[in-house]
Amino acid sequence: MGALTELTAEKYPGKAPALLFDDVPGYPGGFRTLYGHFTTLKRVALTLNIPLEEAENKVKLVKAYQDKWTNIKPIPYHFVADGPILENVLTGGDIDCFKFPVPRHHQRDKARFIGTAACVITKDPDRDWYNLGTYRSQVYDAATIGCQITEGKHGRIHRDKYFERGETMKVAIVVGQDPLLYLLSASQVPEGVSEYDYAGAILGEPYPVIKGVYTGFPVPANAEIVIEGDITPGDLLDEGPFGEWMGYYCSAPVKRPCVRVKSIMHRNQPILCCAPQHKPVDETVLLKAVAGSAAIWDALRLAGIPDIKGVWQHEGGMGVRFLVISIQQRYPGHARQVLHVASSCQAGAYNGKWVIVVDEDIDPSNMDQVMWALTTRFDPVDDIDIIKKAWSSGRDPLVQTGNFNNRILCDACIPYHRKLKGDFPVVVEVGAEETARLLEKWKGILF
């Protein structure tokens, strides 16, 4: 299943179908797996309740999402009495994570991973804040799974607080859910705000939840599968390796906290949602590119930086590591300001590598245009900055001890002083009026 998903993503980049597998050998019919939630821009737009015409252009879709983000008014989730997730409740000796067709996604994965397109629900011990984050979960046995959470992520901050007090942390892991929750779970929702509340804002109504039978946490009433359990300080098992989103197996098995499962809730004929990672372009790239670009654009807005014309995290950088921003330069240092804020804001800090700023005549999502700007407007001596010891992770094959990396900032704009003087060479191109005239004349023939 994972191999087929990888092959279709490679054959149809940006257009791959979602794959729903049924009749998995060894499992009853109706116990299904779903891959490829976000392999097209149109499915991203549908999930975000954005008109499909906005998905015809990458930057246009990012801007539409950023506008939603800017004007969002969170709507608190709403408890309901019942939901499909309560059709089956397993506790005690009935708990069995292998009841579901959990795949071994890649040939070199150590084990089967039930959590790849998951929403891990944790609660801050100091306040009434439930966070949803996407973290991988390996299956050890019928009642034990993993929950690998990177430093700095909200779920990890919650876990660290419990562990510092010597306390067990309860967790609910949703492994089949509304794509909107999955998208938000993998996005940069502000600290202290629940992804449920953003989901409600996007849908225009409170998100329906029920109380988890073990944790009491709000879990999606319409979910497919929810696993609840405990993570206890010192209860460690070897976790990984797993083929990760940078396209490598970057780590040997590491002892990490595990989840002792206390309950499983699932629908009749449940769908296990999966998102195996591999070298670009995998099925999660567009999710990360759209969500990350919108969050960075909004961070630049909040920093008061004017005239941002477009933002795109390129697919070849896994939607995280090759960021291009288009601006209309307004003052000396404008481009450098954008570079440093974009690379250091919370939305852009994690695992970044390249940040490039270009002028407004460059489409930041068009790699040919970006490379043209780099090769004609960028000087490798004067137009480059390096940030050392930035926030990285073990996913990075070049990660430094302590989970640091270095990153490059490139100013590929026309030098501001030359732009003011008007002495930079004129671009060879068809003018706007001539373009409009020719498009009209040859409409239906060439265009």
Which CATH number does the domain housing residue 199 bear? 2.30.110.10
Least confident of 13-27, 147-161, 246-260, 291-305: 246-260
Helix (H, G, I), strand (E, B) or coil at 412: coil
Is the residue at 30 inside a domain? no
**Is 18 inside any structural domain?**
no
The rounded distance, in Å, linking the Cα atoms of 355 and 314 is 11
pLDDT of residue 276: 83
Per-residue pLDDT for 370 more than 90?
Answer: yes
Mean pLDDT of 402-412: 95
Question: For 424, what's the count of Cα atoms within 13 Å in the CB-facing half-sphere?
Answer: 13
Residue ending a domain, choose from 241, 268, 295: 268
Residue 391: inside a domain: yes
Residue ranges in 48-178 assigned as alpha helix (H): 58-71, 154-164
pLDDT over 80 (residue 157): yes
- pLDDT band at residue 76, thresholds of 50, 70 and 90? very high
CATH of the domain at 408: 3.40.1670.10
Residue 354 reports pLDDT greater than 80 = yes
Q: Is residue 274 part of a domain?
A: no
* Host domain of residue 117: 71-268
**Is 80 exceeded by the pLDDT of residue 214?**
yes
CA distances (Å), origin 34, targets 28, 105, 156? 16, 12, 27
At 174-210, the pLDDT tens digits run 999 999 999 999 988 999 999 999 999 999 999 999 9
Distance CA 177, CA 195 (A): 13
Question: Are the beta carbons of 405 and 388 closer than 8 angstroms?
Answer: no
Give the residue carrying structure tokens 């849908």.
203
Please check whether residue 181 lies inside any domain of the structure. yes
**Per-residue pLDDT band at 11 (split at 50, 70, 90):** confident
Q: What would the DSSP string read from start to end of 269-301?
A: S-EEE-----SSS-TTHHHHHHHHHHHHHHHHH
* Residue that finishes a domain, picked among 252, 268, 284: 268
Residues 259 and 318 in one domain: no
The residue type found at 135 is Y
First to last CA, the chain: 40
| pLDDT surpassing 80 at residue 294 | yes
Domain presence at residue 196: yes
pLDDT at 3: 84
Is residue 324 included in any domain, yes or no? yes
Rounded mean pLDDT of the chain? Answer: 94
Which of 113, 102, 226, 122 lies closest to 176, judged by CA? 226
pLDDT at 54 over 90: yes
Residue entry with tokens 């270095």:
406
pLDDT tens for 94-119 read 999 999 999 998 888 889 999 999 99
What is the average pLDDT across 64-71? 92
Rg (C-alpha) for the chain, rounded Å, is 23
- Domains contained in the chain, number: 2
Cβ atoms 286, 292 nearer than 8 A: no
- For the stretch 311-334, pLDDT in tens is 999 999 989 999 999 999 999 999
115 and 257 share one domain: yes
Q: Examine the fold and report which residue of 268, 289, 324 is the final residue of a domain before the chain moves on.
A: 268
pLDDT band at 251 (very low <50, low <70, confident <90, very high): confident
State whether 317 and 214 are in the same domain.
no
Q: What are the start-end ranges of the E strands in 277-398?
A: 308-313, 322-327, 354-359, 384-391
pLDDT band at 406 (very low <50, low <70, confident <90, very high): very high
The predicted-structure confidence for 332-351, as pLDDT tens digits, reads as follows 999 999 999 999 999 999 89
Helix (H, G, I), strand (E, B) or coil at 322: strand
Q: Tell me, what's the pLDDT at 62?
A: 97
User: Is-cis flag, bond preceding 281, omega within 30?
Assistant: yes
Separation of alpha carbons 221 and 78, rounded Å: 10
Band the pLDDT of 131: cuts 50, 70, 90: very high
Rounded to whole angstroms, the Cα distance separating 303 from 378 reads 25
Give a yes or no: residue 383 inside a domain: yes
pLDDT at 425: 94
DSSP run (H or E) holding 379: none
Q: Are residue 307 and residue 236 in the same domain, yes or no?
A: no
Percentage with pLDDT > 90 across the chain: 83
pLDDT of residue 277: 81
Q: Which residues contact 52 (CB under 8 A, 6 or more apart)?
A: 42, 45, 46
Checking if the pLDDT of 89 tops 90, the result is yes
Q: Are residues 321 and 202 in the same domain?
A: no
Banded pLDDT at 242 (limits 50, 70, 90)? confident
